[in-house]
Amino acid sequence: MVLLACSVPLALSGWAMLDTAHRPEWVWALTGRRRVAWLAAILFGAVVVPVGVLVSSIYLLRVRPELADAETGRLWREPGTGPGSGSGSGPNSSGGGGP
| Per-residue pLDDT in tens (0 to 9) along the chain, 99 residues | 888 888 888 999 999 999 999 999 999 999 999 999 999 999 999 888 888 899 999 999 999 999 999 999 887 655 555 555 454 444 444 444 444
Boundaries of domain holding 67: 2-72
DSSP 84: T
User: What's the distance, Cα to Cα, between the start and end of the chain in Å?
Assistant: 59
Classify residue 91: in a domain, yes or no.
no
Number of domains in the chain: 1
What pLDDT, on the 0 to 100 scale, is given for residue 75?
75
Q: Which residue from 21, 14, 18, 13 is spatially nearest to 57, judged by alpha carbons?
A: 13
Note whether residue 10 is domain-resident.
Answer: yes
